[in-house]
């Protein structure tokens, strides 16, 4: 009898909440296309975030602001199709939810219907509590995002500013949790504030540059694989240098074609 691959079931929003209760850490990474999403899924991540960082790491822009809802849906659909077990969360891009809760419901509804993703993410806490509540009341699971919020770059001035206003950060996280968010990203905040938030709210906190006390961690996959051209902030660990590996391979190919070493006999039909 042949070994059949084990049927995997998809991580759900309640599984995310149960992980916090059980003290099991959640590993989250970003993906934007089919091959990477399939690899991450098979390697066992708990969730994949189709982040609007795609504006920077896929489209080569300086900020996430130009990303549109159609871009997110285009990439989200590929990621969902590639995955069997990871919970897929798709970012709502800049100005696809800030206008009103009604606009947010339209945008999030499109994301869930057209991509098959399980949840959306939006940036905000106190300022988006009404929108988070409206989405949650429409059965649209929402991940909130507080601390450094890339969509606020025009007000903040720079992408890497660490947020230290303890009262505001705690108020933001609590407002998001009270409004019905199922989870919350904490970006670039000191570890003691992240620890306090994690202890004081019931939903899982997913940190990026927020220290080890969060309920889970998220990284931008091309950052941790060394594919973002030397971008190495303190909070990123380089798990591989794929830029170097791929550059060496392509240089070898160019050389082989120029010298006639490729294709060899074994690559040739006779």
Active site residues: 187
CB 192 within 8 A of CB 215: no
Among 11, 53, 73, 146, binds ligand KIV (CB under 6 A): 53
In the complex, what is the shortest distance from the CB of residue 268 to ligand KIV, in angstroms, rounded to a whole number?
Answer: 44
Return the number of the residue (185 or 197) whose C-beta is nearest ligand KIV: 185
In the complex, what is the shortest distance from the CB of residue 91 to ligand KIV, in angstroms, rounded to a whole number?
Answer: 5
C-alpha closest to that of 229 among 216, 248, 242: 242
Q: Report if residue 51 touches ligand KIV, rule: CB under 6 A.
A: yes
Q: Which residue is nearest to ligand KIV (CB)?
A: 51
Helix, strand or coil, per DSSP, at residue 218: strand
Instruction: Determine the straight-line distance between the first and last CA of the chain, rounded to whole angstroms.
Output: 38
Residue 96: how many CB atoms within 10 A of its CB?
23
Q: Report if residue 220 touches ligand KIV, rule: CB under 6 A.
A: yes
Among 47, 49, 117, 119, binds ligand KIV (CB under 6 A): 49
Q: Report if residue 131 touches ligand KIV, rule: CB under 6 A.
A: no
Residue 157: how many CB atoms within 10 A of its CB?
8
In the complex, what is the shortest distance from the CB of residue 99 to ligand KIV, in angstroms, rounded to a whole number?
Answer: 20
CB 71 within 8 A of CB 93: yes
Among 41, 52, 77, 172, binds ligand KIV (CB under 6 A): 52
Of 46-54, 77-85, 110-118, 259-267, the window that binds ligand KIV (rule: CB under 6 A) is 46-54
Of 49-57, 130-138, 162-170, 195-203, the window that binds ligand KIV (rule: CB under 6 A) is 49-57
Partner residues linked to 90 by β-bridges: 50, 120
In the complex, what is the shortest distance from the CB of residue 137 to ligand KIV, in angstroms, rounded to a whole number?
Answer: 24
C-alpha closest to that of 159 among 86, 208, 201, 120: 208
Among 188, 210, 218, 225, binds ligand KIV (CB under 6 A): 218
Helix, strand or coil, per DSSP, at residue 246: helix
Helix, strand or coil, per DSSP, at residue 49: strand
| Alpha-carbon distances of 201 from 17, 126, 174, 196, rounded to whole Å | 11, 14, 7, 9
Residues forming contacts to ligand KIV in the complex (CB under 6 A) are 30, 49, 51-53, 91, 145, 185, 208, 218, 220
């Amino acid at each position: 009898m042949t070994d059949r691959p084990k049927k995997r079931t998809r991580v759900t929003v309640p599984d995310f909440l149960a992980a916090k209760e059980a003290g099991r850490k959640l590993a989250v990474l970003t993906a934007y296309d089919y091959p990477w999403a399939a690899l991450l899924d098979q390697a066992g991540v708990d969730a994949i975030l189709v982040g609007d960082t795609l504006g920077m790491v896929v489209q080569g822009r300086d900020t996430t602001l130009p990303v549109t809802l159609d871009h997110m849906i285009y990439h989200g659909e590929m990621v969902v199709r590639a995955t069997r077990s990871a919970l897929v969360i798709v970012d709502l891009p800049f100005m696809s939810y800030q206008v009103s809760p009604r606009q947010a419901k339209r945008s999030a509804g499109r994301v869930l219907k057209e991509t098959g993703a399980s949840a959306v993410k939006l940036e905000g806490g106190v300022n988006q509590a009404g929108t988070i509540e409206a989405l949650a009341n429409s059965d649209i699971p929402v991940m909130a995002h507080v601390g450094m919020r890339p969509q606020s770059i025009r007000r903040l001035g720079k992408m890497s500013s660490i947020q230290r206003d303890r009262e505001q950060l705690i108020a933001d996280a609590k407002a998001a949790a009270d409004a019905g968010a199922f989870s919350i990203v904490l970006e670039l905040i000191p570890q003691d504030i992240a620890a306090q938030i994690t202890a004081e709210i019931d939903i899982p906190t997913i940190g990026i540059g927020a220290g080890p006390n969060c309920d889970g961690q998220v990284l931008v996959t091309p950052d941790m694989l060394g594919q973002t051209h030397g971008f190495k902030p303190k909070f990123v660990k380089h798990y591989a240098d794929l830029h170097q590996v791929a550059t060496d391979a392509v240089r070898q190919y160019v050389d082989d074609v120029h010298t006639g070493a490729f294709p060899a006999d074994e690559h040739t039909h006779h």
